[in-house]
Structure 1
Amino acid sequence: MATAFKNLSDFSSTEIPSAKGFKFGIAVSEWNHKVTGALLDGAVAVLKKHDSTDNDIVIVSVPGTFELSTAAQLLLESQEFDAIICLGCVVQGETRHFDFICDAVSNGITNVALKYNKPVIFGVLTTDNMQQAIERSGGKHGNKGDEAAVTAIKMADLAKRLKK
């Protein structure tokens, strides 16, 4: 979580394994594209920085954050992925819609991960306002997309090591 004490893009104290040889699926929401596009850019840059190639990254767009769970499931059913990254942004509005979407997406992503026994990463911003979203998608609090990609690499590596 980004706070005044933690930047989403600060991984200086953690060791990140190579992404070489892993295949990643990325599902990204089209809703709040200014934010989700920046999350996607961050995730892809981190994967490539850690030895992933264009051929190892498959990106699919979905209309909104609610559809990320289904996209993750479709990706896992269609190809052999080591991890799926779900990127979205839900901004608090005037109704309870925010609560329903956030709850459904977090549960959906968890359920897909457990069903397929594969890492499905929650790279979804749930913010009070658009400014907070911007600050967490490449702004002063870093980029949640960076964090999601690092998590995907680490979890794919963990799964590989435990299968030996």
Structure 2
Amino acid sequence: MAGFGDPHMQTVDAAGLRLGIVGSRWHNDLVDHMIKRAEAAAAACGVTEVITARVAGSVELPVVAQALARKVDAVVALGVVIKGETQHFEYVCDAVTAGLTRVALDESTPVAHGVLTVHSLGQARDRAGLEDSIEDKGWQSTVAVLDAVLAIREVQKS
């Protein structure tokens, strides 16, 4: 983790917005907590409706994110991918990143990449928003994606 450059976003005024959250079931305890933190951030920002879906693994996140993007103003994708001894880690991370980016651009709907891509379970725990975590990607990803919706709306006004 870089440890610098964090914009320290707390909340934005997202009253009236609808949010989709999709989380993987791998490392379920961490992703469950990240989803709770995303839902808490949405509530703190005034989001009107949250639709939450679960999928088997991170590779499945983009297709469900796309289905959500067709119904909501923004989507948060949450998961945990831990590097093992094979190339599988790189393939999964590349597929998820490319897929979520494609969904955002194809659907013109902001999609937050809240998938932890880490080398160890400890690194994942450090980013999952637990009581002793140093980062809270569920919260941060949600506020960032809601901020993107608001930025797009400002651009469209001009």
For normalisation by structure 2, the TM-score amounts to: 0.91
**Kindly tell me: are residues 124 and 62 of structure 1, through their superposed partners in 2, closer, same or farther at Cα, counting changes over 3 Å?**
same
The one-letter amino acid paired with 2:54 is: S
The one-letter amino acid paired with 1:39 is: M
**Kindly tell me: are residues 4 and 17 of structure 1, through their superposed partners in 2, closer, same or farther at Cα, counting changes over 3 Å?**
closer
Mapping 1:39-118, distance limit 5 Å: 39-53=34-48, 56-77=49-70, 79=71, 81-118=72-109
The one-letter amino acid paired with 1:101 is: V
Identity across the alignment (%): 32
Q: What are structure 1's unaligned runs of at least 5 residues?
A: none
Q: CA deviation at 1:17?
A: 2.3
Q: What are structure 2's unaligned runs of at least 5 residues?
A: none
Q: Distance in 2 between matches of 1:74 and 1:4?
A: 34
For normalisation by structure 1, the TM-score amounts to: 0.87
Mapping 1:28-43, distance limit 5 Å: 28-43=23-38
The one-letter amino acid paired with 1:109 is: L
* Over 4 Å off, 4+ runs: 2-7
CA RMSD in angstroms, aligned pairs only: 1.7
Equivalent residue of 2:13, what SS?
A: coil
1:3/1:141 contact within 8 Å kept: no
Matched, 1:160 2:153: yes
Cα deviation digits, residues 56-100 of structure 1 (max 9, x gap): 1100001111100001111123x2x11111001100111110000
Q: Which has the higher contact order (CA 8 A, sep 6+)?
A: 1
Mapping 1:4-43, distance limit 5 Å: 4-5=3-4, 11=8, 14=9, 16-43=11-38
